[in-house]
């Protein structure tokens, strides 16, 4: 049997083939980002020391279709409009009581991406002591956070209840994080996915 000999390719044919390969590669990359895994760059200091400004992570967009988010997950999500709007209410409750975290977000979802850590879930009763969430009467043990300091948001003794299908987010840099303490829990539908791997810079490569 004679071996198959590749058919000679003209210059124009090779160019068309290259264009098709590049288009397929781009299309595949876009599909992966849209439905499976999406890269994300850390924009602020709110997650230090866990994640630094400019660090890059991969976000799993699939697993929450099969299971619920859990306390401790680092997630990328759309915050309520009150978190980013220059006018209008920040919290969905117009008049918070002294020492109370925002218990309800505004109804409108923002198109901005935030990254924070889930510290309480649906039905949990939450207050904040020295920057640590106190969930159902138990203060979280968090040796990975930056200390909160003496800011008012570091101690919120009045207990709130997280609404069903919503999650309370806090940054690990507790004294420098704009999070659910100010603009409320985040509906599950607004969560994009869980950050599971940091891939840049090279010396910080690893799972979260």
pLDDT in tens, 130-151: 999 999 999 999 999 999 988 8
Report how far Cα 114 is from the mean position of its chain's Cα atoms: 5
The contacts found for 84-88 with CB under 8 angstroms, 24 or more apart, are 84/110, 84/112, 85/110
pLDDT for 37 equals 84
**Higher per-residue pLDDT: 170 or 27:** 170
Q: Say how far apart CA 131 and CA 73 lie, in whole Å.
A: 18
Average pLDDT, the chain: 88
**Can 116 be counted among the known catalytic residues?**
yes
For residue 146, count other CB atoms closer than 10 A to its CB: 19
pLDDT at 113 exceeding the cut of 70:
yes
pLDDT score for 30: 46
Within 8 A by CB and 6+ apart from 58, the residues are 37, 38, 39, 40, 195, 196, 197, 198, 199
Q: How far apart are CA 94 and CA 96, in angstroms?
A: 7
- Residue 206 has a pLDDT of 94
Q: Which of these is catalytic: 38, 110, 116, 180?
A: 116
Q: Which domains does the chain have, with CATH numbers?
A: 35-207 (2.10.109.10)
The reported pLDDT for the residue numbered 11 is: 67
Indicate the pLDDT class of residue 87, thresholds 50, 70 and 90: confident
**Phi, psi of 176, rounded to the nearest 5 degrees:** -135, 45
> What are the pLDDT digits (tens) for 29-57?
444 454 468 999 999 999 999 999 999 99
10 pLDDT higher than 90: no
What SS3 class is residue 107?
coil
**Which residue in the list 46, 110, 153, 177 is annotated as catalytic?**
46
Res. 27 pLDDT band, cuts 50 70 90: very low
**Beta bridge partners of residue 186, listed in sequence order:** 167
Span 146-158, pLDDT tens digits: 999 888 999 999 9
Nearest to 50 by CA among 73, 24, 31, 81: 73
Is residue 46 annotated as a catalytic residue, yes or no? yes
């Amino acid at each position: 049997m004679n071996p198959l000999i590749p058919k000679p390719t003209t210059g124009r044919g090779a160019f068309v083939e290259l264009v098709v390969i590049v288009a397929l590669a781009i299309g595949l990359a876009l599909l992966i980002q849209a439905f499976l895994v999406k890269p994300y760059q850390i924009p602020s200091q709110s997650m230090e020391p866990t994640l630094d400004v400019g660090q890059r992570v991969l976000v799993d967009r699939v697993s929450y279709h099969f299971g619920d988010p859990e306390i401790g997950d680092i997630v990328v999500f759309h915050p309520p409009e009150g978190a980013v709007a220059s006018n209008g209410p920040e919290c969905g409750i117009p008049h918070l009581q002294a020492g109370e975290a925002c218990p309800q977000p505004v109804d409108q979802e923002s198109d901005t991406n935030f990254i924070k850590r889930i510290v309480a879930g649906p039905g949990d009763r939450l207050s904040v002591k020295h920057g640590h969430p106190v969930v159902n009467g138990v203060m979280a043990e968090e040796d990975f956070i930056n200390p909160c300091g003496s800011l008012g948001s570091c101690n919120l003794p009045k207990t709130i209840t997280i609404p069903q299908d919503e999650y309370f987010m806090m940054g690990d840099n507790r004294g420098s994080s704009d999070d659910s303490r100010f603009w409320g829990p985040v509906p599950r539908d607004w969560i994009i996915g869980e950050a599971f791997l940091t891939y840049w810079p090279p010396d910080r490569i690893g799972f979260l």
